[in-house]
């Protein structure tokens, strides 16, 4: 829902501006001045990168043994104090057992007002709500999937959440926007020097790229592992030369949940139809040709799309140059069957992904630096020929939302979604309604991706091509695919569902979170909402 | 030769101080204030790392294609101006054809007074003397092997050379001590995005680690390749995300000289004896045990030592955890025969080294950051159980010289030599004289390594253990090895050669170069010398 100036109090107006996307955003977040979104590719940074203090080998053990007895000791040595920023990564996903223990330890040390800077939080972290309530954690900057998002949405978090994409998170560290005092890196394998990877060990999770920026720029870096090996731990996706302390623990978490193992191809006929439309679209558009590249996530539609695309590639004798993960068995099979030269992988979604990454030199670990950092000298994302993404909402101008539902609840992170919008053909694959709530709306509840970057919306009721892509529209003028105007699809779904989604209830006074664009400017505001009592 | 205050002019004295090693060093080098050596592990940096400007994808091609038509165009786009610093790496060794072309291009653009910051220069670069003479190149900061060293030694270079170890060079970049305006990186394989490695392509040379710091911190980075491949170039030892421009050329140089192919085991009986002493010493000291580690270079003595050690390891059933390269076939055979778990390799000295690095996941590419950076959170060098190094001179206090000859000529670089001194047992393996010049002297001509860091000197006439290592002396009290006092060996050699080496002729007015310690402080001065006319 577009926020209307007239419904905003004077007090709010005085601290808010309308940005280039027409969204109302604050100019100060958690006490720090921020820059409103200026338009796609319009903001150029004029600053130097963060400069960590120069260290010296004089202050590190010459035998390379950085082991300390436990996490508390490491935090103490790292100089943990109230008000600091602690970062964690989410490669252990919903199996992460370390972060809860970490904040138990922080709490036991009497430390307060921590800014927690995870690359994402998961339902397993609902345990931390008590620390948000008692002031141990001041606020979260990072995606809040599920319970923590619900907690924040109801206005209960002290500070304002800052939602960044994976690339945006790396960028914020690199740019010095977020200074991490202490990075705590769960490492499925590590040596006592701090070299670490995620491909070996009992808690193997695949890449560790989400912790790369943390390891490079944090003042102090603590590696925690449940599989300590002799130096050298190879490959060293995290480099011991950036690590201060190493802690050995019995377990990093629940292995069965670290890689979900629940990546399932959709069985819904509607979603299979969407997958078929995508595959057909990718072939008919000419994207599917020798040497092409694409990215598709691990959702049910995407996996179905992969299987269908694979058949088409085989039938036409087409080989990709690279496919971007998150990896699953569906991707690794394509690599092993010679349908792609490389998988460039940011995270593993199943054990086959982990195994392949460990064994196959053409399955390559990537990081938000290589793939997504908008403040680098280019990145991988913009080179992709096709990207298939999801969304919670899209509007008739192709603007899309990926973090909130139409009821205003913030329940999802941005992930690499915004970063991927720079791909050459961005396809949103979405069912036209969910739980009788239409997905194509007049105005998205929260703007995460500017419409000009989204090329195609594919639903089970038809395919809408962004009018900005006249080349694609022309290309499909004689197609048998159901190419339709987005408004037509919207109207049909409104008829089925009984109109537009219920507007969210919100006092529009308190901010739950702000959504950054990939360049660090403020794209939109998530206001706190009262719980729906319908 | 120790410089005596009394022989120095007042003018010199006013600009020089005696450092903690008792050596006379300038306080200003090339117009920049410097810090005299304060003693081993005595200097602690208090500064922040270099902070490169934040870039934006807005300014880079979204398709990842950074190709420009030639080197001149790339230098122009990079904003080349007189007085800038240009860096290169030396992985192509004496086969490097690019650097000469680079400075032809710089000259053709009318640019002057370049500070050239190579990781090393080789005899093939004597071509550049004309550019040192005509002012295109102001001075060289980097090792000057052979002709360029001779040129500088004779006082002909405009500025002062700065000699740093491999680790010191990385450190200087990281610390912001040397700001590189433009890095020109010869890449045996690269893609148009700038990802590059040295293990593939017709000019394959092995690792590219010497260019790592350059790629991370230079304002502009130009990758030049004679083997352009489709994105992604894997492995990406140089990351395209740090690269501005890519240039394709026909050839990077003379392949036959890129990896020398001349790494030969010594045939000299004296040197074989030294190798036998080292192997016996390493075994008897207890260093050679399961899980141990060592580093030995590619010189003739070292290769003989490797073969002898290998036999001893086999005989005792001992396996190393890791061996540090420069790699050769002798190392790769040990890896392949299961005598070590890993080779951690900084440069390849023969084609077998390159092949193994490309094919064997346990042959791992390292960089001066991982291995040698003294201003990191530790590095690999100090973890080594034994290191075998050479020297041009060693004195009776175990101080050693690795850059100048006794006649004062600067003819060698430091390489990783200083960095390796932090190993647990540092062994200098040296013939007791060369060309009738005794190697054990009263005072080294140039101090490169403080005696307190050198544990053992092994010559064909006996083994001297540093009195600081009473543990070792005790350990060898009943050994059959010829353990002797260093003064005894010296005296014997003086008797053979007719006394101490001729003192160098030097006006001691002009500085050829200064020798940095690994922490960036100034360890010693190389004064210009008049040519010997004996």
Chain B CB contacts of A370 under 8 Å are 236, 239-241
Q: Which residues of B touch A379 (CB under 8 A)?
A: 57, 241
Per-residue HEC secondary structure of B188-251 comes to: CEECCCCCEECCCCCCCCCCCHHHHHHHHHCCEEEEEECCECCCCCCCCCECHHHCCEEEECCC
Residue of B57, B362, B422 with shortest CB distance to A382: B57
pLDDT given at position B2: 36
Coil, helix or strand for B87? strand
CA distance A444 to A511: 17
What local confidence, expressed as pLDDT, does residue A2 receive?
36
The chain A residue lying nearest B322, using CA atoms, is: A232
Cβ proximity of B183 and B218 under 8 Å: yes
Q: Cis peptide leading into A423, omega within 30 of 0?
A: no
What distance in Å separates residue B79's CA from the closest CA in chain A? 16
How much of chain A, in percent, has pLDDT values that exceed 90?
Answer: 89
3-class secondary structure, B150: helix
CA distance A495 to B297: 78
Reported as a pLDDT band with limits 50, 70 and 90, residue A509 is confident
For residue B488, the distance in angstroms to the closest alpha carbon of chain A comes to: 33
Kindly list the domain boundaries of chain B, sorted by start residue. 63-141+178-258, 269-497
Q: How many helices (H) and strands (E) does chain B have?
A: 16, 30
> Has residue A353 got a pLDDT over 80?
yes
pLDDT more than 70, % of chain A: 95
Instruction: Tell me whether the CATH fold assigned to A61-141+178-256 matches the one assigned to A269-497.
Output: yes
| Nearest residue to B357 (alpha-carbon basis) of B9, B91, B4 | B91
CATH number for the segment(s) B63-141+178-258: 3.40.1080.10
Minimal CA separation from B149 to chain A, in Å: 31
pLDDT tens-digit readout, B373-409: 999 999 999 999 999 999 999 999 999 999 999 999 9
pLDDT band at A1 (very low <50, low <70, confident <90, very high): very low
Q: Which residues in chain A are closer than 8 Å to B374, comparing Cβ atoms?
A: 56-57
Is the model's pLDDT at A265 over the cut of 90? no
Q: A376 and B55: CB-CB below 8 Å?
A: yes
CATH fold of the domain at B269-497: Glutaconate Coenzyme A-transferase (3.40.1080)
- Tell me the C-alpha to C-alpha distance, in Å, between residue B224 and each of A370, B121, B141, B207, B227: 20, 18, 22, 16, 9
Task: Look at residue B259 in the predicted model and tell me its pLDDT.
Answer: 78
Rounded mean pLDDT of A401-423?
95
The per-residue pLDDT of chain A, averaged, comes to: 94
pLDDT at B261: 54
Tell me what pLDDT residue B533 has. Answer: 42
Amino acid B534: pLDDT: 38
B chain contacts of residue A243, beta-carbon cutoff 8 Å: 377
Residue A424: pLDDT over 90: yes
The architecture CATH gives domain A61-141+178-256 = 3-Layer(aba) Sandwich (3.40)
Q: Do B48 and A54 touch (CB under 8 A)?
A: yes
**Which of B77, B193, B232, B235 is the best residue to mutate to test the A interface, defined by the most A CB atoms within 10 Å of its own CB?**
B232
Which residues of chain B have a pLDDT value below 50? 1-14, 531-534
What's the rounded Cα separation, in Å, for the pair A469 and B463?
A: 78
ipTM score:
0.95
Picking from A44, A45, A54, the nearest residue to B47 by CB comes out as A54
Q: How many Cβ atoms sit within 10 Å of the Cβ of residue A14?
A: 9
Is the pLDDT score of A331 beyond 80? yes
pLDDT at A507: 59
């Amino acid at each position: 829902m577009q926020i209307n100036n007239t419904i905003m109090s004077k007090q709010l107006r005085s601290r808010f501006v309308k940005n280039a996307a027409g969204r109302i955003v604050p100019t100060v977040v958690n006490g720090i001045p921020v820059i409103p979104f200026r338009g796609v590719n319009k903001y150029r940074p004029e600053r130097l990168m963060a400069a960590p203090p120069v260290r010296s080998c004089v202050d590190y053990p010459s035998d390379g043994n950085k082991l300390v007895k436990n996490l508390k000791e490491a935090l103490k040595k790292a100089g943990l104090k109230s008000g600091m920023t602690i970062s964690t990564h989410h490669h252990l996903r919903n199996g992460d057992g370390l972060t809860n223990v970490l904040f138990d330890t922080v709490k036991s040390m009497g430390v307060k007002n921590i800014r927690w800077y995870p690359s994402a939080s998961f339902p397993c972290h609902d345990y931390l709500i008590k620390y948000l309530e008692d002031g141990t954690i001041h606020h979260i900057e990072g995606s809040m999937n599920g319970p923590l998002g619900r907690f924040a949405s109801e206005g209960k978090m002290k500070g304002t959440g800052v939602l960044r994409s994976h690339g945006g998170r790396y960028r914020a560290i690199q740019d010095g926007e977020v200074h991490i005092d202490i990075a705590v890196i769960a490492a499925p394998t590590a040596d006592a020097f701090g070299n670490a990877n995620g491909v070996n060990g009992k808690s193997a999770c695949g890449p560790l790229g989400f912790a790369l920026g943390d390891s490079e720029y944090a003042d102090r870096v603590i590696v925690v592992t449940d599989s300590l090996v002799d130096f050298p731990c190879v490959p060293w996706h995290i480099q011991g030369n950036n690590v201060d302390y190493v802690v050995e623990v019995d377990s990093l978490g629940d292995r069965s949940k670290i890689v979900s193992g629940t990546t399932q191809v959709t069985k819904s006929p509607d979603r299979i139809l969407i997958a078929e439309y995508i595959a057909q679209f990718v072939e008919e558009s000419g994207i599917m040709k020798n040497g092409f590249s694409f990215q598709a996530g691990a959702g049910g539609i995407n996996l179905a799309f992969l299987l269908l695309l694979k058949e088409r590639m085989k039938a036409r004798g087409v080989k990709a140059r690279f496919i971007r993960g998150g990896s699953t068995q569906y991707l690794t099979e394509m690599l092993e069957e010679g349908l792609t030269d490389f998988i460039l992988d940011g995270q593993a979604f199943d054990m086959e992904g982990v195994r392949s990454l460990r064994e196959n030199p053409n399955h390559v670990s990537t990081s938000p630096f290589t793939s997504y950092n908008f403040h680098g000298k280019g990145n991988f994302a913009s080179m992709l020929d096709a990207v298939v993404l999801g969304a919670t909402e899209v509007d008739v101008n192709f603007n899309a939302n990926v973090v909130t539902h139409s009821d205003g609840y913030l329940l999802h992170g941005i992930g690499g979604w915004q970063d991927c919008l720079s791909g050459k053909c961005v396809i949103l694959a979405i069912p036209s309604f969910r739980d009788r709530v239409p997905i194509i709306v007049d105005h998205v509840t929260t703007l995460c991706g500017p419409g000009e970057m989204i090329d195609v919306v594919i639903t089970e009721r038809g395919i809408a091509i962004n009018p900005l892509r006249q080349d694609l529209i022309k290309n499909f003028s004689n197609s048998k695919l159901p190419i339709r105007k987005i408004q037509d699809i919207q109207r049909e779904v409104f008829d089925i569902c009984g109109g537009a989604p219920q507007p969210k209830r919100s006092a529009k006074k308190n901010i739950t979170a702000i959504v950054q664009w990939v360049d660090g400017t403020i794209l939109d505001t998530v206001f706190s909402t009262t719980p729906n009592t319908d």
